Amino acid sequence: MSGQTPSVLVIDDEEMIRESLQVFLEADGWAVAAAASAEEALEMLAAGTFDVAIVDIRLPGISGRDFVLRAHAERPELRFLIFTGSTAFRLDAELAQAGMSAGDIFAKPLDDLRVLAEAARRVVA
Amino acid sequence: MPDTPECDLREKLIGFGEKSIHKSYFPQLYKRLEELELFHALLDRANDPIFLVDTNSDVVIEANQAAYNLFGLNKVERAWKSFMDLFGNARQAPGREGPGGMAEGETREVSHVSPSGQRVYFELTLSTMTISGLRYTVGVARDITARKQAEEALREREQQLRTLFETAPVGIYVSTGEGRYLASNPANAAIHGYAGPEELLGQVTDMARDVYVDPEQRQILLRRLRREGEVKNFECLRKKKDGSPIWVSTSARLSRDPKTGQEIINGFSIDFTERRQAEQETREAKDFLYRIVDSIGDPIFVKDDTHRHVLVNNALCAIIGRPREAILGHTDYDFFPREEVDGFWQFDNAVLATGAENVTEEELTGLSGKKHTIVTKKTRYVDVLGKRYVVGVIRDITERKQAERELEASEEKFRSIVESSPTAMYFYRLEADGRLVLTGANPAADSTMGFAHQPLLGKTLEEIFPHLARTHVPELYRKVARGEIGAQSYQGVHQDERATAFQDVHVFRTGPAAITVDILDITERVRLQEMMLQSEKMASVGGLAAGMAHEINNPLSSILQGAQVSLMQLAPDVPANKAAAEECGCPIEAVRCYLEKRRVIKFLEGIQEAGRRAAQIVSSMLEFSRKSESRRAMADINEILDKSVELASTDYDLKKKYDFRHIAIIREYDPGLPEVSCTRTEIEQVILNLLKNAAQAMAEQPPPEGGPAIVLRTLRADDSVRIEVSDNGPGMTEAVRRRIFEPFFTTKEPGQGTGLGLSVSYFIITANHGGTISVESEPGQGARFIIDLPLGERK
């Protein structure tokens, strides 16, 4: 938590998705940082603090799932939402260990991004 | 008579006829008297009557005592006369004339009948003498009756023997050792072909050469005669005068002439050529009989009343395993196990006693130990002497029995094959009138076809399967039954009110005018094949869809998010938008106005809407690969069906096009249906989909007779629960039926359906529930969807 403005880190390699989400969340009242890869996100995570990270799974380099596990190891207070186009993705034990539940996984596309914003608020609260 | 000698003498002299004699002569007279007395005494002592007759007067002067004894005192004179008559008659034959007509010393046979009536024969010898000038005839009659009788008897006997000799039917002969006939009776001559004994004796000078076919035979006979003195029934072949052969049996005795020492053979010959021929014929007949009996393959025997074999044929020898000589005269105990023979004899005895024919199947163990099964037919034969025999004919049925057993076993085997065959088998017989009549069927036939064949025996093919009547099938069967064509195989479809069955039909000939129709129900196989094909196809399609979905989701996400954020950034009530617009020197309202005027907002909203629709489709496609088990629970399928019907009747989309209430919903639920582990909502989705499809299909066509109807049926299959959803709509073609579960395959108007409903249903049933879904349909015949959900826990 950084003051009353919650902060979110959006990680997605697809620029349109990453930026539209960033725009949407900012409008929704979030402090948003965006990264195009897990490596970039990990650097940003080292530099600053975030309340929640919205993670794509299929990323170049480190996968979204590995990012969650590493980020959780470094920043246990950080919460995660997974936003993926991969329909086969399921919650597993390690992710659960990282504090995730099945309701924290969202499939692309979403009709309405508010669903994601609400989820982010829920996990941060 | 006076006592004095003188007186006696006187009287005696007077007796002589003297009248007076002087005393001085007395001594002389005495002497004469003595002589006379001596003479008389002598005469009287003779046994034969003696007569002294005065030749001139033919008066009997004196006769001796024997004459008086024989003829009587007064009858001597008469007897003489009678003799003389007889004598005279006898003399009529030429003879020497003696003095006084009498032959001197002549002897004649005369006879005299004694007072007792017996004829006495004499040999009368007459002689004459002259004494003192007087001629006297002296007749001496010797009694020859006894000799005469002996002679007569001898003559008679000789006559008899001669007659015998002459007329005997056997040849009688006397021959010399060298081979010359000394005597032969006519029969012996006739045997050898000669006119009479004279011819035989005249022409046969060397018997060995002339009457023997093989001269050595006579030498054999001779040697035997010399050795044994007598030979009986020496049989050999002789030859007749004309050279033709005859069989002669000779019995002979050898003796030697006491004077010359020559060998004399007295023999008898019998021509037994005919007997020989008869014997030959008998022998041949017997041989013929034996040959026939031997040529019979069945063992034959004749046993006497003590069970001894008196006749056996080769086949019997073979079954016993001994030569004929070793069997004849023996009993069964010499060849067979005691317990078997006990049985044989029991029947022997019954047949011997009653004469009733007996036929029995028996076991017989040959000497080699080989077991035979035989059928023996025994009859009684009684010969002319009343002796009883058992005549037996054996039929060795060992091989037949073995074959029977094998046949039985084979038949049993084949019957059990037929009985236990999983394929239905119907047996038909082709009648002369061309009808194919059912003669039988196996149990599988009843279970496969769903009806018992028993009541249909004797019915025709067309009566049993009416739908075949219009087809070429009956004629095909007839051709096979007649042998005009070989076995036929084809795939048939059997349809009844309940279901369509696919069958592999194989029809083949099993005898003259007999066929077997072998039916293998391949409905399951066909369905399974179809499903496997479907499954493979769907798996690849599903994989494709899932892969596609993934790739589409990201760009879709960009589209949707981009559209949403774009619209959001144009919202006039957002302060950030307002500020940004101001910065650009254009109030947000103006921006908004411009964008609406140029319908950009509308396009953006269109992009959003289209993106959502695409997302929906992709989401549906993802059902293909989704395998969620999380919500599986035991559920009552009947209840799920009811729920689905309820959902359908309230479905807005459906109502738009067809009022579901106009469709008759017929529920044929199995009340005892077990619960199935499933995801309730998914099954509801599938059923709803099927109901919608049925309703839509029926809406497109004029309502069928009796109104549109959907039949919902549940039933318990082996290890699954079956759900059937049938409609009486237009049905579908085979081409449609084959592709109906494919994603994006649809027969609906564009925009009326995605072509994913049945694909999704397919994946829900197969992938998510491990069940099967299939459809049966024909154009105009409605459609029936069949879902099988396994009862067991899914792995």
| Cβ <8 Å between B574 and A16 | no
Averaged pLDDT score across all residues of chain B: 84
User: Which pLDDT score, from 0 to 100, does residue B99 have?
Assistant: 41
Alpha-carbon distance B571 to nearest alpha carbon in chain A (angstroms): 11
Cis bond before residue B99 (omega within 30° of 0): no
**Rounded to whole angstroms, how far apart are CA atoms B187 and B120?**
41
Strand, helix or coil at B312?
A: strand
Residue from the list A16, A111, A112 with its beta carbon closest to the beta carbon of B558:
A16
| CB pairs A-B closer than 8 Å | 67
pTM of the entire predicted model: 0.41
User: Which pLDDT score, from 0 to 100, does residue B547 have?
Assistant: 73
**Rounded to whole angstroms, how far apart are CA atoms A55 and A33?**
12
**Rounded to whole angstroms, how far apart are CA atoms B760 and B684?**
12
With contacts defined as CB-CB under 8 Å, which chain A residues touch B611? 109
B574-627 confidence digits (pLDDT tens): 888 899 999 999 999 899 999 999 999 999 999 999 898 888 878 777 666 555
| Cβ <8 Å between A24 and B611 | no
Rounded to 5°, angle at Cα B559 from B558 and B564: 100
Residue from the list B549, B550, B615 with its beta carbon closest to the beta carbon of A111:
B615
Q: Which helix (H) or strand (E) holds B411?
A: helix B398-420
| Cβ <8 Å between A88 and B546 | yes
With contacts defined as CB-CB under 8 Å, which chain A residues touch B549? 87
**Rounded to whole angstroms, how far apart are CA atoms B472 and B484?**
15
Q: Which residue of B has its CA nearest to A109?
A: B557
Assess contact for B711 and B666: CB atoms under 8 A. yes
User: Which pLDDT score, from 0 to 100, does residue B437 have?
Assistant: 94
With contacts defined as CB-CB under 8 Å, which chain B residues touch A115? none
| Cβ <8 Å between B561 and A27 | no
| Cβ <8 Å between B562 and A14 | no
Residue from the list A17, A87, A111 with its beta carbon closest to the beta carbon of B549:
A87
- Structure token digits, residue B509: 């000939």
With contacts defined as CB-CB under 8 Å, which chain A residues touch B626? 87
pLDDT tens string, chain A, 125 residues long: the values are: 445 789 999 999 999 999 999 999 998 999 999 999 999 999 999 998 999 999 999 899 999 999 999 999 999 999 999 999 877 788 899 999 989 998 999 988 998 999 999 999 999 88
The neighbouring-strand residues paired with B127 are B138
| Cβ <8 Å between B560 and A109 | yes
User: Which pLDDT score, from 0 to 100, does residue B447 have?
Assistant: 86
User: Which pLDDT score, from 0 to 100, does residue A118 have?
Assistant: 94
Tell which residue, B761, B763, B757, B675, has the closest CA to residue B720. B675
Residue from the list B546, B556, B565 with its beta carbon closest to the beta carbon of A24:
B565
| Cβ <8 Å between B553 and A24 | no
- Structure token digits, residue B683: 């099954």
Query: A64-74 and A38-47 are packed helices; what angle lies between their axes, rounded to 10 degrees?
Result: 20
**Rounded to whole angstroms, how far apart are CA atoms B768 and B24?**
209
Alpha-carbon distance A97 to nearest alpha carbon in chain B (angstroms): 20
User: Which pLDDT score, from 0 to 100, does residue B95 have?
Assistant: 41
| Cβ <8 Å between B553 and A107 | yes
User: Which pLDDT score, from 0 to 100, does residue B96 have?
Assistant: 41
Tell me the residues of A at the B interface, defined by beta carbons under 8 Å apart.
Answer: 14, 16-17, 20-21, 23-24, 27, 85-88, 107-113
Return the amino acid letter for B75.
K
The dihedral built from the CA positions of residue A102, A108, A110 and A116, taken in this order, carries a sign that is positive
Alpha-carbon distance A49 to nearest alpha carbon in chain B (angstroms): 25
Alpha-carbon distance A2 to nearest alpha carbon in chain B (angstroms): 22
| Cβ <8 Å between B561 and A112 | no
Candidates B564, B570, B630: best to mutate against A (most CBs of A within 10 A) is: B564
- Pairing outcome for strands B783-790 and B720-727: antiparallel
| Cβ <8 Å between B558 and A14 | yes
Tell which residue, B92, B61, B89, has the closest CA to residue B77. B61
- Structure token digits, residue B398: 């060992």
- Whether the complex's predicted ipTM is more than 0.85 is answered with yes
**Rounded to whole angstroms, how far apart are CA atoms A107 and B554?**
10
Strand, helix or coil at B169?
A: coil
Assess contact for B679 and B635: CB atoms under 8 A. no
| Cβ <8 Å between B564 and A107 | no
**Rounded to whole angstroms, how far apart are CA atoms B671 and B654?**
29
Q: Which residue of B has its CA nearest to A56?
A: B554
Q: Which residue of A has its CA nearest to B575?
A: A27
Tell which residue, B740, B640, B616, has the closest CA to residue B688. B640
CA–CA distances in Å: residue B590 to residues B109, B132, B585, B594: 216, 246, 10, 6
With contacts defined as CB-CB under 8 Å, which chain A residues touch B625? 87-88
- Structure token digits, residue B746: 């649809």
| Cβ <8 Å between B561 and A87 | no
**Rounded to whole angstroms, how far apart are CA atoms B678 and B790?**
10
Assess contact for B373 and B399: CB atoms under 8 A. no
Task: Collect the ranges in chain B with pLDDT lower than 70.
Answer: 1-22, 88-104, 496-499, 542, 622-631, 651-659, 749-754, 793-795
Q: Which helix (H) or strand (E) holds A28?
A: none
With contacts defined as CB-CB under 8 Å, which chain B residues touch A87? 546, 549-550, 553, 622, 625-626
Residue from the list A85, A88, A112 with its beta carbon closest to the beta carbon of B557:
A85
With contacts defined as CB-CB under 8 Å, which chain B residues touch A90? none
Assess contact for B328 and B309: CB atoms under 8 A. yes
Q: Give every CB contact of residue B59 below 8 A, 6+ residues apart in sequence.
A: B53, B77
B669-714 confidence digits (pLDDT tens): 999 899 998 888 889 889 988 988 888 888 777 777 778 889 999 9
With contacts defined as CB-CB under 8 Å, which chain B residues touch A24? 561, 564-565, 568
| Cβ <8 Å between B550 and A21 | no
Residue from the list B554, B569, B625 with its beta carbon closest to the beta carbon of A85:
B554
What letter would DSSP give residue B766?
I
Residue count (chain B): 795
User: Which pLDDT score, from 0 to 100, does residue B600 have?
Assistant: 92
Assess contact for B254 and B263: CB atoms under 8 A. yes
Burial class from Cβ neighbours inside 10 Å (0-12, 13-18, 19+) for residue A112 reads middle
Alpha-carbon distance A16 to nearest alpha carbon in chain B (angstroms): 5
**Rounded to whole angstroms, how far apart are CA atoms B109 and B145?**
10
Percentage, residues of chain B above pLDDT 90: 31
User: Which pLDDT score, from 0 to 100, does residue B93 have?
Assistant: 42
Q: Spell out the alpha helix ranges (H) of B651-795.
A: 652-657, 680-699, 734-739, 757-763
Alpha-carbon distance B643 to nearest alpha carbon in chain A (angstroms): 29
| Cβ <8 Å between B612 and A111 | yes
Q: Which helix (H) or strand (E) holds B754?
A: none
User: Which pLDDT score, from 0 to 100, does residue B266 have?
Assistant: 92
If one counts every other C-beta atom within 10 angstroms of the C-beta of residue B788, the result is 22
- Structure token digits, residue B93: 């034959």
With contacts defined as CB-CB under 8 Å, which chain B residues touch A102? none
Residue from the list A85, A111, A112 with its beta carbon closest to the beta carbon of B553:
A85
| Cβ <8 Å between B564 and A109 | no
The sheet carrying B720-727 orders its strands as B664-668, B709-716, B720-727, B783-790, B772-777
With contacts defined as CB-CB under 8 Å, which chain B residues touch A21? 561
Tell which residue, B487, B479, B476, has the closest CA to residue B510. B487
**Residue holding tokens 């790739």?**
B551
Alpha-carbon distance B602 to nearest alpha carbon in chain A (angstroms): 17
| Cβ <8 Å between B556 and A109 | yes
| Cβ <8 Å between A85 and B611 | no
With contacts defined as CB-CB under 8 Å, which chain B residues touch A109? 553, 556-557, 559-561, 611, 615
Burial class from Cβ neighbours inside 10 Å (0-12, 13-18, 19+) for residue B216 reads exposed
Residue from the list A23, A108, A109 with its beta carbon closest to the beta carbon of B569:
A23
**Rounded to whole angstroms, how far apart are CA atoms B18 and B20?**
6
User: Which pLDDT score, from 0 to 100, does residue A1 have?
Assistant: 45
Query: B600-622 and B588-597 are packed helices; what angle lies between their axes, rounded to 10 degrees?
Result: 70
What letter would DSSP give residue B767?
I
Tell which residue, B754, B771, B773, has the closest CA to residue B679. B771
| Cβ <8 Å between B574 and A85 | no
